[in-house]
Amino acid sequence: MLLHIDSSADPTADSVSRRLTDRFVTVWRAAHRGTARYRHRDLATDPVPPLTAAYTALGRRVEREGFVPPEKVPALLDGPAERREWELTLPLIEELRSAHTVLLGVPMYNFSVPAALKAWIDRVTFPGAFTDPDTGESLLRETRVVAVMARGGGYGPGTPRAACDFQTPYLKAYFGRLGVAPQHLHLIAAELTRVDVLPHLAGLEEQAARSLDAARQRVDALAPALAPTPAAEPPSD
C-alpha cells in the first residue's frame, strides 16, 4: 500500500509539497495500476488530535509491560479516556504498518516540520507498535519513506541558512529510530519556493526553477521504482 500523507496548510494551488506529492501519486498509479492499494491522509483537513494525559498514562503502562504488541493493548486500558485515545491511535498505527511506501508532503514551517505532521508523529509512535515481539526488530525495516520537502528559502549545504535546516535532520533521526533502513529513506527538497513573493529572494528565480525541476525529476524516477512487495495486494479502489 502507498500511504500518502499531506501536511501543508495551503490548498494544492498554493502548495509546492502538495503538487509534488500529487505528481508522485500520478506516476506511481500509472506504473502500478491495479497492483497495490492507496490511502491518502490530509492532516490539514483531518488533523490528528494532540496527545492527552490518558495517552501518556497508557503508554507508560505498556512500557512497564515490556512493549506489548497493539493487539494486546486493549487488555491494559483503564477507563473511557484511555479507550478513546487508543481508538484514535490504532488506525494510524495500522495504516503505517500496512504501508509498503509512505509518501510525506512536508513544507518547512519555522525551520522544521508542520505541527500537523508532528501531531501525527507523536500519536503514531506508540510504545512497541513497530517492534516484532519475537525478534525485537523493527517492523518498518523494509518500509520505503519518501519525504517531499518544500522550503520558501534556501537551506542547502553552503547557504547562509544551512544551519537553520532542522527539517532534514529531524526526519532522518525520526525514521531512523523507527527502524526505517537508511537506503529506504528518500528526502526530496524543492527550495526557494517563495521566490515570487519574497523581495529578498529577487534574482534567485533561476536557482528556484532548477531546484523545483530537480525535485520533479526525482519524483518521476522514484515513483515507478518503488514497486509493491512481491506478495499480491488487493487492487486499489
Could you list the residues known to form a binding site for FMN, using ranges. 15-17, 108-111
- How far apart are alpha carbons 41 and 34 in whole angstroms? 20
| Distance from C-alpha of 219 to C-alpha of 22, rounded to nearest angstrom | 10
Cα–Cα distance for residue pair 18/21, rounded to 1 Å: 5
**Is the torsion defined by CA of 119, 73, 1, 189 positive or negative?**
positive
Query: Residue 177 contacts by C-beta under 8 Å, 6 or more apart in sequence?
Result: none
Cell numbers 544551519 correspond to 163
Return binding residues. Answer: 15-17, 108-111
CB 145 within 8 A of CB 12: no
Residue holding cell 519475537? 134
Which amino acid, residue 19? Answer: R
Cα of 66 vs its chain's centroid, Å: 27
- Long-range contact set of residues 201-207: C-beta below 8 Å, sequence gap at least 24: 201/153, 204/154, 207/154
Q: Position 145: which residue type?
A: V
Under 8 Å between Cβ of 76 and 61: yes
Q: How far is CA 85 from CA 40, 115, 146, 147, 203, in A?
A: 22, 19, 28, 27, 50
